[in-house]
Structure 1
Amino acid sequence: MKRRKFLQVASVTGAGLAAGCGTGEPDKWMPYLVPNDDLIPGIPTYYASTCRECPAGCGIIVKTREARAIKIEGNPDHPVNRGRLCARGQAALQGLYDADRVTRPMKRNGAVWESVSWDAALGEIATALAAAAAAGANRVACVTGAGNGVADGVTDRFLGAFRSNRRLRYESFAMEPLREATRQVFGTATVPRYDFGAARYILSFGADFLETWLSPTEFARGFAASHGYQQGRMAKYVACEPRRGMTAFSADEWVPPRAGTEHLLALGIANSILRQGKARVSGGEADRLRGFLARFDGATVSAATGVSEETITRLAAEFADAQPSLAVGGGIAGQHRAATQVAVAAHLLNVVAGNVGRTMSLPASSLWDRVSGHADMMRLVQAMDAGDVDVAFVQGANPAFALPGSAGFAAAFGKVRLKVAFVTALDETAQLADIILPDHHFLEAWDAIEPLAGVTSFVQPVMQPVGDSRQASDVLIALAQQAGRTLAGGQPTTQALVAGNRTGLSELLRKGVTGAPAAGRAARATADFARLTYEAAAFDGAEGGLPLIPVPSASLYDGRGANKPLLQELPDPATKIAWQTWIEVHPTTAARLGVRTGDVVRVAAGQAGAEAMVYVWPGIRPDAVAMPIGQGHSAYGRHAQGRGANPAMLLAATATDAAGALAWSQVRVTLEKTGVFRPPATTEGSARQHGRGIARSVAFTAISAGHAGHEEHEPYTAAERRNMEAHEAAKDSAANLGVYAASPTKWEMTIDLSRCTGCSACVTACHAENNVPTVGEDQVARSREMSWIRIERYFEGETDGSAFQVAQIPMLCQQCADAPCEPVCPVYAAYHTPDGLNGQIYNRCVGTRYCANNCPYKVRYFNWWDYGAPNDPRYAFPGALHYALNPDVTVRSKGVMEKCTFCVQRIRHAQNDAKVRGRELVDGEFTTACAQTCPSEAIVFGNARDASSRVARVRQDERGYVVFGQLNTKPGITYLSRVIHGGEGEA
């Protein structure tokens, strides 16, 4: 009997035996009575919507299969992100299918939550609302997240029906200093528009514009367009901040001033521009600026900031000479007591250099204009504490977590007679409520928002609700009716409001967006900014302490992403740590304190304290420490609760800046050793390349002179050099291509390291597309992570000071033409396809791991456990998370090796579709998940045998190289060396 026949017989008889062993409940399968013409099994349906994971409002396209959402991509027609998406947007489905999602209304009974019906819950709330309305005005409060759309307007009209103006659009990162600075300098309290793509020189004073600041996906695209090397041109970027994070990794130069003095450095640069006669202002404006800036001379600023006079003078000349340039400031990491002054100083630099109206402009309106900040929240806390609020609603905000404990939010909120939380998950604020109402996830809801002036972006349901949830705005409409109130201009549902009087609504919803960004305007500087005090920011605590810099998380944002395992397992771009909280310490400081990476210390600020693991690295000044924001939840689900520490608990709510914003950097802390050691859950290997030429770089001056710089830094042996030369000469020859020489297709990839920012959106997109499991903190600490792509980070140069460079490179299966993994597999699970892929047959693999041992790139991953097994609660996808799985990709089992496949399922789908339609594949009609989402467009994928394809053209770039080319593995990925302004090439 042949093996195939045996398996067929065994499967049938096995099924028959199993059927006779139980009496389970019968299932009834029924066909559609009327088949849906739009629903074809196996064929995806796509919906255009808007991402609400942060206030930026990126457009998205959601892929659904059999009425469930399985993948999110950027919307190419959307002016904010142009088809690209960040890691948080890629992980949004895990919020939709959250295992700890609230699926029914609940009411508090002591310390216990009890399920109630919607009618009972709404009846109780309506009664309380009627009583509050009878008691007078302003007895009802609503706290929501940022918004300016249809649903947001319903909340306004709801409060108006109850004669209340207690409305907060609360964001923990509300950008109050930036808005106040714009008012001080230009007379309008708004957030400016920034055009990174037009800038030829960028100065950043603590603005993490590639991570969490304003609109990072939009900015990444513009930044890559200007700073990415192309045709002999690229902008220079200098980061002026005491800590070097992911955004500053892309900087050509890092200039670290003392914490709290960033504004003084910026003003010193502006003064130097005027002194050098390079200012692009004249008349009375120039005289006014000259008089104000005169006190910020080089010697004074140098003494305050620790930055040399020579550096200040040089930066001023470079910034003024490169036209147009751009200065930005006002990020959360630099939000101290002088945060408004930092943003003012950045504005003044743009005024002096003539950038206003060119790379920076004032919009007609901004989504941020009505966002409430810390001062607004503290006023509401006072009102609640005084008993002036009878009914409070919270939706899309978590102030109990975001505010310092000293704000007294929990105690004041407890004095409100009825507290209602619209939530998808029980976070810290919801745990304080009386009634929980399950809210729609944004992928189940209707809305229309304005992310940019002149642009309307639609939010529409992509599937039926996962649980018994309702949209909060619809509930407010119903509550007003039950309480005997009428909303001004109200309609029965939010969907009807979105439809309104719009013509061609179906086409608008198909596209997902309408309108075009309104042109910004230039403005002249006023004199209001001179009223502020321009001194170094003060820090509370003993002089011997170290200023603490809380840093927003590129993945968790302000903590709202902490309930998503995909984001928890995404390594921090700077430290490469996942799942944990750490405190960053400079090597000099660590030696003085006697601590090492992994030591758990108590971070003490007066009577407050938190425990965190030490991470020693050179990316922070010796006289400061840094700690990420986002962990430390006491609620919010199994993946967030009880994990790490929240630095907000170390802060005083009364410490604010000139705009009333919470000063995140306000205290000095001491580090007290606990004697506990915790292995960091890190994906970092060596921090150095050891001369292996993995992530290469070249100086701008060198490549401009026609010198790519590859050979200078690789210590090849004679044999290695012969291999390299032979590979270069024969890489496209028929003899080298072997049995596949006649194949018209060879899939390859290029990755431009000058454009790659290390944001890790590709890592998350790969997880989501290819059903890559998350393994948890313990397994990551054992180096058993499963990510098919890792972003390797290396330090180059001496790390004693700030002159070192950071090299980053996405490392994935290189799809080698002469792959070392293939010949060592004893069962032929690893094989080569005719179109140039290193295939992996999962049901052949027996887990010897020989392939991983023989892979010089270390990009094969072994399933130590049966991740996703439905019958094993330890490893099964919890709750409904399995609904996010891609049905086109096999879920691998225990003992199986896996790796990047170049998204072979997408390749085969496109090939089959082209075959059915009787045509050839067109370059660019599909791409891999990583290339599709990359915000900076660093990754290009295609058929290298097609000379007209983009990948074939890019791989001929003079900067192109292959990693470990001397091994003669013939990789299918070509990297383009990073170009550094002022760099000396690779160390």
Structure 2
Amino acid sequence: MDSNKKYWKGLEELNNTPEFVEKNKHEFGEPIPIEDVLSGEGLLGKTPRRDFLKAVGFGVGAVTLAACQKVPVHKSIPYLIKPEEVTPGVANYYSSTYEGHAILVKTREGRPIKVEGNPNDLLAKGGLSAQAQSSVLDLYDVSRVQAPLLNGEGKEWSDLDDYVKLELAKIKDSGKKITIVSSTISSPSTLAVIADFITEYPTAKHVMYDAVSYTGIIQANQNSFGKAVLPHYNFDKADVIVSFGADFLGTWISGEEFTRQYVSNRNNKSLQAKKMSRHIQFETGMSLTGTNADNRYPLKPSEEGVALINLYNAITGTTLPGSKKLADNATNNAITLAAKELVAAKGKALVVAGSNDVATQVLVNAINAALGSYGTTIDLDNNSNQYKGNDADLAEFINEAKSGAVAAVIFLDANPVYDYYNTKEITEALSKVPLKVTFAASLDETAALSTAVAPNHHYLESWGDDSAIAGYHTVLQPTINPVYNTRQAEESLLIWSNNAVKTYYDYVRNNWDKNILALGGLSGQKGWETLLQTGFVKAAAKPAGSYAFSRDLNAVAQTILTQSAALVASGDKAYELHLYQSSAIRDGKHANNPWLQELPDPVSKVTWDNFAAMSLTDLKKLNLQEGDVITIDANGTSIALPVLLQPGQAEGTISVAVGYGRVKGGAVIESGIGKNAFPLHSFRNGTVQTNAVAKISPTGDQIILAQTQTHHSYEGRSVIREASFTEYKKNPYKNSGKDGEHKDYKSLWENYDRPTYNWVMAIDLNACTGCGACVVACNAENNVPVVGRDEVRRRREMHWIRIDRYYSFNEDGKSVTEEHEIDKLKNVNNVSVVHQPMLCQHCDHAPCETVCPVLATVHSSEGLNHMAYNRCVGTRYCANNCPFKVRRFNWFNYWNDSRFENYLAEQHTQLVLNPDVTTRFRGVMEKCSMCIQRIQAGKLQAKIEKRPVKDGDIKVACQQTCSANAIVFGNGNDPDSEVSKALRSERTYYVLEELNVQPGIGYQVKVRNTTESEA
């Protein structure tokens, strides 16, 4: 590896501060005073855990009844088998859909316990996001509305229906307006139901809006090409990708799909063919996508439009009026280089921007048209349906409501009282609407102001469909009877509009019979049953057309430059504000999910909070420390947040995540998590904008963030290896250590044969984006407990797999002088990042096994390191002796200890638990088991079928959910297995190989497509 490169997890580790050294002395966190333990308070407050869990958790009785009730008349069809009845101990898998992705839902004894990607899903090929993995948890949430409400009082459905129908009839006779406000709906059947409702009530109108809007792209395509659509992007067809603030591997449009596409040009197969795409990222805050870029350049929001104009000029050879260079020469040079590379890759180039500004996106369209991207990397004919909201439509509804023209509003999967930028305005508008109905599943901020609440089913209780991409239709089927007295929103609309079709199941079935089944060559009952087993149909794709751009860009450029000038921060303590979605919580709909709240942010590694990210230069300038609270004033709103040092943050800017600070919608939310940043948005030129000028001021307060980035330190030992693509092509073994002299390590252990199976794993650092979906998948599969903010602060998170994030820059070897400190500041502001999944390495010469006095951790004949929980007495010798720091000590009975609170409810977790995995008790060590339960199930199935285990029969949870296929597991004894082939890669190395513990997990060297001068 490059000896000049310095890798570090946080600035405290880089500087080896006394505080960092002291914290690392306490591997298992700070001790709790014995009197607090005995009193049951600890650091987690005075609420007894059992009581708190009942408040936050879910009702066992209702779910037990739902799981045990008779199967409904219209049966769901399992994916693989058709049982006559539930067989205890045997899982059933049902096809369904989540946000347009085809999925499989695993049920045990009638309870959904795990969601997996359907391996035939056209979008992610079996990959699944952290949000989808965690969605099963929401099914059992007692925060859900459990029965209809009218003016805050529980009612029967018949009473609610009578009231709503009477009011709607009055409004129909009066001629006043009815508005259905929803987030994007891509379900053909739901859209048909709404159309029928509007037919019954001609003054009704459907308004779609998205909390995080893509109106700018849609309107730009309307202005540029006459097609008001969100394109379908093909990153797999792009040799050169340039992104301006679009987090396309994370939260931008279709992250799992784009990840699969992106990695296909950068993984083992591509590299062995000596091919690799090139990715350049310009952005304000460090995003997940930015951490994966070959080259990344910090850029202020006010500079983005100027940079795009310069890119257009360099590509086309023209000069738009008002063009000017940026202040930073390195960025100017990067734009010139990017233009040359894009032109050289004409037809295989792609430029994307995360801006929601129409003029900016029109310019991006012009750039892509000049590069010949339409019809190849951009498809306007097989468009995306994932975001269709229109910001102007919602603004129009608010104005109409304020004027008194709207007599009824119905909210479907929409919470504008929380996520609209002007809370005061939306609240005032709703106060003038007599009838307010919501289908909210929980009493969220909008539901709290509604006249009637008609609680919707959870998607795992529902019938339906989806079409995320034009021509690709997935089906939704229930996997459990309704847990509470809820009803599907579409069925409510059918009843209220006096539709001849009384049940939504019949409606969906009729719609598919008439319009969709034939697209997959299916028909009739047999076709319907086939659909319920396969999960989707796909129509033949339309030819993707090329589109020429003919608009005059002079006015567009002037609009962009005017907006850029308005974003320049001037004056004391004025900064450019950048708002973004966190990778876990997204727009706030998932804020009540503790699995997601405890998932470390892939970049900052913060859990349970949002924060104000700033550069080291700005922190020093303002004399601030991490955790100091500042107020941020923008758009007439002020919020207070702790600051966080973010390497790579553009100087003079602040980045804040939206989706936090909700006040209603569940016990986790209402415990107080972060601040609401949506009001910091502004409405300009017809769209909601994510950038603004903000004034900041310190409050004098401080908050300790629950941040995991420097937990489990290697004490400076090297674990990351990377090379440039140029180096790799010259020497494929570069930095893997395989081209050096063989080292004959001495061993204290004997070697044992693995006669049948040798379970091993390969992890490709070039494929891993650091998204964290594997962490949540492991939580769900292996009953890993959530511990809460305070316990994370004490370094006691329980995740069996973690994603270590390393910053790096080239060390110059200078002595520590004032000049060197200035250089270090520049280096910290311009870093590269590597993500490394780290879990138990299942070492053949495991140091943990040697020191265990009770043989609680032992090695199997199949190469796995096992834990016998009932033997473990909690000495923690094994964790002290583990060089990888992957063992977790279970301080408390997080699942059912009545003395301590927990954000994951006891009753709730008893229902979502995987019965094949033991729940660990207090005082034992736990760590990755390589999903031993899945290994045993795979072996048993092969035995029943009287055959050997085939490669791919067994997939561990982290592997199965990874859209990038970064994790490969299998039998190392099979030379033709995928894992054996991966481990034979010239890039394979083993972490801390010099210790000769012989890990069972091999990593592939990270390769960046940079020249040696750029690396």
Distance 1:942 1:33 in 2: 40
Distance 1:499 1:362 in 2: 25
Instruction: Classify the secondary structure of the residue corresponding to 1:779.
Output: helix
Answer whether contact 1:632 1:643 (CA < 8 A) is retained: yes
Match of 1:614 in 2: 643
* Alignment CA distance shift 1:519-1:449 (3 Å): farther
Match of 1:73 among 86, 97, 116: 116
**1:795 positional shift:** 1.0
Distance 1:153 1:696 in 2: 54
Match of 1:273 in 2: 315
**1:488 positional shift:** 9.8
Deviates further, 493-502 or 355-364: 493-502
Matched, 1:49 2:91: no
Match of 1:668 among 674, 694, 699: 694
Distance 1:796 1:665 in 2: 29
Match of 2:590 among 561, 574, 579: 561
Distance 1:206 1:100 in 2: 36
* Alignment CA distance shift 1:364-1:954 (3 Å): closer
Answer whether contact 1:695 1:808 (CA < 8 A) is retained: no
Matched, 1:257 2:302: no
Higher RCO (CA < 8 A, seq sep 6+)? 2
Match of 1:931 in 2: 959
Instruction: Classify the secondary structure of the residue corresponding to 1:91.
Output: helix
Answer whether contact 2:968 2:979 (CA < 8 A) is retained: yes
Distance 2:502 2:571 in 1: 59
Instruction: Classify the secondary structure of the residue corresponding to 1:49.
Output: strand
Distance 1:134 1:33 in 2: 43
Distance 1:238 1:138 in 2: 49
Distance 1:906 1:986 in 2: 44
Match of 2:53 in 1: none
Matched, 1:645 2:675: yes
Instruction: Classify the secondary structure of the residue corresponding to 2:691.
Output: coil
Which amino acid in the other structure matches residue 358 of structure 2? T
Matched, 1:100 2:139: no
Match of 2:285 in 1: 243
Matched, 1:790 2:837: no
Matched, 1:684 2:704: no
Deviates further, 40-49 or 134-143: 134-143
**1:950 positional shift:** 1.0
Distance 1:778 1:690 in 2: 25
Paired residue total: 906
* Alignment CA distance shift 1:823-1:31 (3 Å): same
Distance 2:197 2:869 in 1: 56
Match of 1:706 among 710, 716, 731: 731
Distance 1:736 1:575 in 2: 40
Instruction: Classify the secondary structure of the residue corresponding to 1:469.
Output: coil
**1:651 positional shift:** 3.7
Answer whether contact 1:698 1:983 (CA < 8 A) is retained: no
Matched, 1:912 2:943: no
**1:152 positional shift:** 2.4
Which amino acid in the other structure matches residue 37 of structure 1? E
Match of 1:15 in 2: none
Distance 1:63 1:841 in 2: 27
Which amino acid in the other structure matches residue 922 of structure 2? K
**1:698 positional shift:** 0.6
Matched, 1:387 2:429: no
**1:617 positional shift:** 2.1
**1:690 positional shift:** 7.6
Match of 1:230 in 2: 271
Answer whether contact 1:263 1:341 (CA < 8 A) is retained: no
**1:534 positional shift:** 2.9
Match of 1:358 in 2: 376
Instruction: Classify the secondary structure of the residue corresponding to 1:237.
Output: strand
Answer whether contact 1:774 1:786 (CA < 8 A) is retained: yes
Q: Any idea what the Cα deviations from partners look like across 1:734-779, whole Å, max 9, x if unmatched?
A: x9873x4152211110110111100111111111111101111111
**1:227 positional shift:** 2.9
Match of 1:376 in 2: 393
Q: Any unmatched runs of 5+ in structure 1?
A: 1-24, 276-289, 715-720
Q: Any idea what the Cα deviations from partners look like across 1:68-126, whole Å, max 9, x if unmatched?
A: 10110111122112111011111111221223111111223xxxx32211111111111
Scaled by the length of structure 1, the TM-score of the pair is 0.87
Answer whether contact 1:258 1:306 (CA < 8 A) is retained: no
Instruction: Classify the secondary structure of the residue corresponding to 2:986.
Output: coil
Match of 1:981 in 2: 1009
Matched, 1:758 2:770: yes
Match of 1:500 in 2: 513
Answer whether contact 1:446 1:494 (CA < 8 A) is retained: no
* Alignment CA distance shift 1:878-1:144 (3 Å): farther
Matched, 1:749 2:774: no
Instruction: Classify the secondary structure of the residue corresponding to 2:482.
Output: coil
Deviates further, 627-636 or 443-452: 443-452
Match of 2:50 in 1: none
Matched, 1:570 2:599: yes
Instruction: Classify the secondary structure of the residue corresponding to 2:757.
Output: coil
Instruction: Classify the secondary structure of the residue corresponding to 2:349.
Output: strand
Match of 2:576 in 1: 547
Deviates further, 418-427 or 180-189: 180-189
Which amino acid in the other structure matches residue 119 of structure 1? S
Q: Any idea what the Cα deviations from partners look like across 1:171-225, whole Å, max 9, x if unmatched?
A: 1123111112222322212111211111111100111111111111110000001
Match of 2:131 in 1: 88
Q: Any idea what the Cα deviations from partners look like across 1:766-809, whole Å, max 9, x if unmatched?
A: 11111101111111111110111111111111661564211110
Match of 2:336 in 1: 313
Distance 1:811 1:295 in 2: 52
* Alignment CA distance shift 1:381-1:487 (3 Å): farther
Which amino acid in the other structure matches residue 122 of structure 1? D
**1:528 positional shift:** 5.5
Which amino acid in the other structure matches residue 644 of structure 1? G
Please report the RMSD computed on the Cα atoms of aligned residues, expressed in angstroms: 2.9
Distance 1:401 1:841 in 2: 48
Match of 1:414 in 2: 431
Deviates further, 386-395 or 142-151: 142-151
Instruction: Classify the secondary structure of the residue corresponding to 1:349.
Output: helix
Instruction: Classify the secondary structure of the residue corresponding to 1:408.
Output: helix
**1:962 positional shift:** 0.6
**1:550 positional shift:** 0.8
Which amino acid in the other structure matches residue 795 of structure 1? Y
Which amino acid in the other structure matches residue 51 of structure 1? Y
Match of 1:534 in 2: 560
**1:688 positional shift:** 9.7
Describe how 1:165-176 pairs up with structure 2 within 5 A: 165-176=204-215
Scaled by the length of structure 2, the TM-score of the pair is 0.85
Distance 2:808 2:1005 in 1: 14
Q: Any unmatched runs of 5+ in structure 2?
A: 1-60, 72-81, 518-522, 811-824
Matched, 1:441 2:458: yes
* Alignment CA distance shift 1:814-1:36 (3 Å): closer
Match of 1:347 among 355, 359, 365: 365
**1:675 positional shift:** 2.0
Answer whether contact 1:686 1:794 (CA < 8 A) is retained: no
Distance 2:913 2:210 in 1: 32
Which amino acid in the other structure matches residue 425 of structure 1? S
